[in-house]
Structure 1
Amino acid sequence: MTTTQPGDRDVAATEAARPQRPRSVRARQAVLDATNDLLDEGGLPAATIDAISARSGVSKATVYKHWPSRTAVAAEAFGRLMSSAVELPDTGSGAADLREQVRRVSAFYASPAGVIFAQLLAASVIDPEAASFFRVFFLAARRRAIGVLWERALANGEVNPDIDVEVAQDILFGPLIFRLLSGHAPLTEELAVQIADAALDGLLVPRS
């Protein structure tokens, strides 16, 4: 089960309670679309509140009514667009699925979208409210999806049931994020496979 922090619950509750009047829905979607356009053009530095307002035609006051900061707007916009960008594999083997998912996520981080991900992650460190938006709208869906792969592997008797799914995800995918942020090593397919193999050696059921 994915751990939920208090701020994440607040964001989720706020999202559920947002007015669904057509005009409000259209304005929010215009903001999200404009933000994603700006992110695509120039990354997080381009997605200022002034630029978002000008591009969307929505006033800055309205933007701030729904989001606490530009990073929060960008986190939701990017998260909604990219949360399902990496399709889940289904090879018939739980362990093979996990290996393939590590490879696919590595390729995502190595793409232009990975640069935006890194910018949002870094900005969220100093903006706790934005971090909640990032977890709710981007990370939560990703981690739920990987949880599906873990459950498959458990059902097949391939992974150690004593290891928590949250711990397993951090072990498998944490090294990719570290490489993305630090730049100490490339995000290549070959190295992604090596990371997956090294992690799974400790996660799989020991063979007699």
Structure 2
Amino acid sequence: MLELIQARGYSGTGLTTVVEHAGAPKGSLYFHFPEGKEALGEQAVELAAEQFRTLVTGTAAEAAGPGDVLRRVVDVLTGLLTGSDYRLGCPVSVVTLEMGADSERLRAACAAAFESWIGPVTDLLVGRGHPRTAARALATTVVSSLEGAVIVSRARRDVAPLRDAAQVLGPLLDQPPSGAGASGGAA
């Protein structure tokens, strides 16, 4: 379901297509997801969230600093886009845009997914001495910028927007914190 949402969107992915794509009997879908497509979509969003969170945290363990983490994550995202001929994007943004106003269950899953990405970036910045409030604002900006850059890259069929985001935000992430208490939050 995750790959289908990335390529076709949530609304464009029917349960029959999911079953055919998985090569599974239709009955198994209803056995594992008795609540239907919405439950399956929620699970796909949770899987996407975990994959990206793992990418960020795993990269942070090896990177020289926050800007390097961003550049490495952008490298993975550009590989995903170019490797799929710009067909695959972020399933969380797709579900948010398509279903966020219609399904509280899916909206909440998407909000939790974004938070699971903002949290580790916040923690990375706090670990580098940034006050928590300022770190969270910067982390939210980074995640939001990457999401937008993926969308613009798909529309243009060009990864330049992602590269531009890394080029602009990377040095900002690597700047030492200014005035530990200036942003109104304790670490």
Same-fold call, TM cutoff 0.5: yes
* Percent identity of equivalent pairs: 9
Q: Which residue of 1 aligns with 2:104?
A: 128
Q: Distance in 2 between matches of 1:77 and 1:66?
A: 17
Q: Which residue of 2 aligns with 1:205?
A: 178
Pick from 14, 29, 33 the counterpart of residue 48 of structure 1. Answer: 14
TM-score with structure 1 setting the length:
0.57
Query: Which one-letter code corresponds to 2:168 in the other structure?
Result: Q
Q: Distance in 1 between matches of 2:106 and 2:117?
A: 18
Q: Distance in 2 between matches of 1:116 and 1:82?
A: 10
Pick from 87, 95, 100 the counterpart of residue 68 of structure 2. Answer: 100
Structure 1: stretches of 5+ with no match in the other structure: 1-34
Query: Which one-letter code corresponds to 2:111 in the other structure?
Result: R
- Asked if structure 2 preserves the Cα contact closer than 8 Å seen for 1:44 and 1:116, the reply is no
Q: Which residue of 1 aligns with 2:127?
A: 152
Q: What secondary structure sits across from 2:60 in the alignment?
A: coil
Q: Distance in 2 between matches of 1:76 and 1:90?
A: 22
Alignment of 1:24-173 (within 5 A): 35-36=1-2, 38=4, 42-44=7-9, 47-53=13-19, 55=22, 56-57=24-25, 58-60=28-30, 63-65=33-35, 68=38, 70-86=40-56, 87-90=58-61, 97-110=65-78, 111-112=80-81, 115-117=89-91, 118-126=93-101, 127-136=103-112, 138-154=113-129, 159=130, 161=131, 163-173=133-143
Structure 2: stretches of 5+ with no match in the other structure: 180-187
Give the drift of 1:66. 6.8
Q: Distance in 1 between matches of 2:54 and 2:132?
A: 28
Q: Distance in 1 between matches of 2:45 and 2:132?
A: 33
Q: Is 1:179 aligned to residue 179 of structure 2?
A: no
Give the drift of 1:146. 1.7
Q: Which residue of 2 aligns with 1:32?
A: none
- Asked if structure 2 preserves the Cα contact closer than 8 Å seen for 1:83 and 1:141, the reply is yes
- Asked if structure 2 preserves the Cα contact closer than 8 Å seen for 1:147 and 1:165, the reply is yes
Give per-residue Cα distances to partners, 1:27-66, cap 9 Å, x unaligned: xxxxxxxx246457x4546642223345343244752427
Q: Flag the 1:173–1:181 CA change in 2: closer, same or farther, 3 A.
A: same
